[in-house]
Amino acid sequence: MAKSGKSRFAILGMLALLKKSTGYDLKKHMEASTHYFWKESFGSIYPILEDLEKQQLIVKVDEPSRNDRQRNTYKLTSKGREALEHWLVQTPEPLHNRNELLLKLFFGGLSPVEVSTEHLENYQKELEVKLSTYQKIKRELSKDNSLESSYYLITLDHGIRLTKASREWCANAIKTLKAIDIEGE
Protein backbone atom coordinates (compact mmCIF):
# COMPACT_ATOMS: atom_id res chain seq x y z
CA MET A 1 0.00 0.00 0.00
CA ALA A 2 0.96 3.59 -0.58
CA LYS A 3 3.30 2.90 -3.45
CA SER A 4 3.07 5.44 -6.24
CA GLY A 5 1.08 8.64 -6.47
CA LYS A 6 1.94 12.16 -5.58
CA SER A 7 2.45 11.62 -1.89
CA ARG A 8 5.89 10.24 -2.58
CA PHE A 9 6.91 13.46 -4.22
CA ALA A 10 5.38 15.64 -1.60
CA ILE A 11 7.58 13.81 0.87
CA LEU A 12 10.66 13.93 -1.34
CA GLY A 13 10.15 17.63 -1.91
CA MET A 14 9.70 18.39 1.75
CA LEU A 15 12.79 16.39 2.53
CA ALA A 16 14.69 18.40 -0.07
CA LEU A 17 13.65 21.66 1.53
CA LEU A 18 14.32 20.53 5.07
CA LYS A 19 17.62 18.80 4.16
CA LYS A 20 16.73 16.05 6.60
CA SER A 21 13.74 15.09 8.68
CA THR A 22 11.82 12.44 10.55
CA GLY A 23 8.39 11.33 9.44
CA TYR A 24 6.89 13.08 12.39
CA ASP A 25 8.59 16.35 11.54
CA LEU A 26 7.64 16.09 7.92
CA LYS A 27 4.02 16.15 8.89
CA LYS A 28 4.53 19.06 11.27
CA HIS A 29 6.14 21.09 8.55
CA MET A 30 3.44 20.31 6.07
CA GLU A 31 0.82 21.35 8.53
CA ALA A 32 2.62 24.64 8.95
CA SER A 33 3.11 25.36 5.28
CA THR A 34 1.43 23.28 2.58
CA HIS A 35 -1.56 22.56 4.75
CA TYR A 36 -3.85 24.62 2.56
CA PHE A 37 -3.24 22.58 -0.60
CA TRP A 38 -1.48 19.44 0.56
CA LYS A 39 -1.43 17.23 3.60
CA GLU A 40 -0.30 13.76 4.49
CA SER A 41 -1.31 11.45 7.28
CA PHE A 42 1.05 9.24 9.24
CA GLY A 43 -0.64 6.30 7.64
CA SER A 44 0.84 7.33 4.34
CA ILE A 45 4.06 8.95 5.48
CA TYR A 46 5.67 6.03 7.28
CA PRO A 47 5.01 3.35 4.65
CA ILE A 48 6.17 5.70 1.91
CA LEU A 49 9.32 6.58 3.81
CA GLU A 50 10.08 2.90 4.14
CA ASP A 51 9.44 2.38 0.48
CA LEU A 52 11.54 5.33 -0.62
CA GLU A 53 14.40 3.98 1.41
CA LYS A 54 14.04 0.57 -0.17
CA GLN A 55 14.29 2.24 -3.56
CA GLN A 56 17.29 4.22 -2.41
CA LEU A 57 15.69 7.57 -3.01
CA ILE A 58 16.32 8.46 0.62
CA VAL A 59 18.67 7.20 3.32
CA LYS A 60 18.69 7.26 7.08
CA VAL A 61 21.14 9.67 8.62
CA ASP A 62 22.75 9.07 11.98
CA GLU A 63 21.86 11.56 14.61
CA PRO A 64 24.78 11.33 17.04
CA SER A 65 23.37 13.98 19.37
CA ARG A 66 20.14 12.46 20.70
CA ASN A 67 21.20 8.86 20.70
CA ASP A 68 18.69 6.24 21.56
CA ARG A 69 15.20 7.64 21.23
CA GLN A 70 13.58 5.77 18.42
CA ARG A 71 13.61 8.19 15.53
CA ASN A 72 14.48 7.75 11.90
CA THR A 73 15.91 10.80 10.25
CA TYR A 74 16.09 10.68 6.47
CA LYS A 75 17.68 12.70 3.72
CA LEU A 76 17.52 12.58 -0.05
CA THR A 77 20.02 10.61 -2.06
CA SER A 78 21.15 11.87 -5.45
CA LYS A 79 18.84 9.31 -6.97
CA GLY A 80 16.02 10.76 -4.91
CA ARG A 81 16.92 14.23 -6.00
CA GLU A 82 16.78 13.14 -9.60
CA ALA A 83 13.39 11.51 -9.15
CA LEU A 84 12.10 14.67 -7.54
CA GLU A 85 13.42 16.89 -10.29
CA HIS A 86 11.97 14.63 -12.91
CA TRP A 87 8.57 14.90 -11.32
CA LEU A 88 8.83 18.65 -10.84
CA VAL A 89 9.09 19.40 -14.54
CA GLN A 90 6.09 17.27 -15.50
CA THR A 91 2.98 19.29 -16.19
CA PRO A 92 0.65 18.83 -13.24
CA GLU A 93 -2.58 17.09 -14.04
CA PRO A 94 -5.62 19.33 -14.01
CA LEU A 95 -7.53 18.73 -10.81
CA HIS A 96 -11.06 17.47 -10.65
CA ASN A 97 -12.12 18.42 -7.24
CA ARG A 98 -15.42 17.64 -5.73
CA ASN A 99 -17.14 20.45 -3.98
CA GLU A 100 -19.95 19.45 -1.70
CA LEU A 101 -21.13 22.98 -1.09
CA LEU A 102 -21.59 23.58 -4.80
CA LEU A 103 -23.35 20.26 -5.17
CA LYS A 104 -25.83 21.18 -2.48
CA LEU A 105 -26.38 24.59 -3.98
CA PHE A 106 -26.92 23.03 -7.36
CA PHE A 107 -29.72 21.04 -5.78
CA GLY A 108 -30.86 24.14 -3.90
CA GLY A 109 -34.25 24.19 -5.57
CA LEU A 110 -35.13 20.95 -3.79
CA SER A 111 -35.01 22.60 -0.35
CA PRO A 112 -36.33 25.83 1.12
CA VAL A 113 -34.13 28.72 0.06
CA GLU A 114 -33.04 29.25 3.67
CA VAL A 115 -31.08 26.02 3.56
CA SER A 116 -28.86 27.31 0.80
CA THR A 117 -28.51 30.68 2.43
CA GLU A 118 -27.35 29.11 5.63
CA HIS A 119 -24.76 27.00 3.85
CA LEU A 120 -23.42 30.11 2.23
CA GLU A 121 -23.33 32.07 5.45
CA ASN A 122 -21.44 29.30 7.19
CA TYR A 123 -19.00 29.17 4.36
CA GLN A 124 -18.50 32.90 4.53
CA LYS A 125 -17.47 32.61 8.14
CA GLU A 126 -15.00 29.88 7.30
CA LEU A 127 -13.55 32.06 4.60
CA GLU A 128 -12.98 34.97 6.95
CA VAL A 129 -11.07 32.75 9.32
CA LYS A 130 -9.00 31.31 6.51
CA LEU A 131 -8.25 34.70 5.09
CA SER A 132 -7.00 36.16 8.32
CA THR A 133 -4.81 33.10 8.84
CA TYR A 134 -3.29 33.50 5.41
CA GLN A 135 -2.72 37.18 5.90
CA LYS A 136 -1.04 36.61 9.21
CA ILE A 137 1.31 34.08 7.64
CA LYS A 138 1.94 36.47 4.80
CA ARG A 139 2.97 39.23 7.16
CA GLU A 140 5.42 36.98 8.93
CA LEU A 141 6.74 35.51 5.73
CA SER A 142 7.26 38.86 4.08
CA LYS A 143 10.05 39.68 6.53
CA ASP A 144 12.03 36.77 5.19
CA ASN A 145 13.79 37.34 1.89
CA SER A 146 14.86 33.83 0.88
CA LEU A 147 14.15 32.16 -2.42
CA GLU A 148 12.10 29.56 -0.60
CA SER A 149 9.82 32.12 0.93
CA SER A 150 9.21 33.71 -2.46
CA TYR A 151 7.72 30.47 -3.67
CA TYR A 152 5.86 30.03 -0.45
CA LEU A 153 4.39 33.50 -0.92
CA ILE A 154 3.20 32.62 -4.39
CA THR A 155 1.20 29.68 -3.10
CA LEU A 156 -0.08 31.78 -0.22
CA ASP A 157 -1.17 34.47 -2.61
CA HIS A 158 -3.21 31.86 -4.41
CA GLY A 159 -5.01 31.13 -1.18
CA ILE A 160 -5.61 34.77 -0.46
CA ARG A 161 -6.89 35.67 -3.90
CA LEU A 162 -9.15 32.68 -4.22
CA THR A 163 -10.51 33.14 -0.75
CA LYS A 164 -11.34 36.73 -1.50
CA ALA A 165 -13.03 35.77 -4.74
CA SER A 166 -15.01 33.12 -2.89
CA ARG A 167 -16.07 35.68 -0.36
CA GLU A 168 -17.40 37.95 -3.06
CA TRP A 169 -19.14 35.06 -4.71
CA CYS A 170 -20.81 34.20 -1.42
CA ALA A 171 -22.06 37.71 -0.85
CA ASN A 172 -23.43 37.81 -4.35
CA ALA A 173 -25.04 34.40 -4.12
CA ILE A 174 -26.77 35.34 -0.89
CA LYS A 175 -28.20 38.40 -2.63
CA THR A 176 -29.46 36.25 -5.47
CA LEU A 177 -31.11 33.89 -3.03
CA LYS A 178 -32.79 36.79 -1.28
CA ALA A 179 -34.35 37.77 -4.58
CA ILE A 180 -35.55 34.20 -5.10
CA ASP A 181 -37.06 34.22 -1.66
CA ILE A 182 -39.06 37.39 -2.30
CA GLU A 183 -40.24 36.12 -5.66
CA GLY A 184 -41.25 32.82 -4.15
CA GLU A 185 -43.61 34.38 -1.65
Partner DNA sequence: ATGGGCATGTAAGGAGTTACATGATTCA
Partner DNA sequence: TGAATCATGTAACTCCTTACATGCCCAT
129 binds, among its own copies, DNA, none (CB under 5 to 8 A by kind): none
Residue 76 has phi, psi (to 5 degrees) of -70, 150
- CA pair distance 101, 39, nearest whole angstrom: 21
41 binds, among its own copies, DNA, none (CB under 5 to 8 A by kind): DNA
Provide the mask over 97-136, with x wherever binding to DNA is found by CB under 7 A and - wherever it is not. Answer: -x--------------------------------------
User: What residues numbered 3-42 form the site for its own copies, per CB under 8 A?
Assistant: 6, 9-10, 13, 16-17, 33-34, 36-39
* Contact flag: residue 6 with DNA (CB under 7 A): yes
Q: What is the DSSP letter of 92?
A: P
- CA pair distance 167, 126, nearest whole angstrom: 10
* Contact flag: residue 88 with its own copies (CB under 8 A): yes
4 binds, among its own copies, DNA, none (CB under 5 to 8 A by kind): DNA
* Contact flag: residue 68 with DNA (CB under 7 A): yes
- The residue within the footprint of DNA, chosen from 35, 71, 158, 178 (CB under 7 A), is 71
Distances from the Cα of 116 to the Cαs of 99, 100, 122, in angstroms?
14, 12, 10
- CA pair distance 146, 137, nearest whole angstrom: 15
- CA pair distance 98, 111, nearest whole angstrom: 21
**In the beta sheet, which residues pair with residue 18?**
none
Residues that bind DNA (CB under 7 A): 1-8, 22-25, 28, 39-44, 46-47, 49-50, 66, 68-73, 98
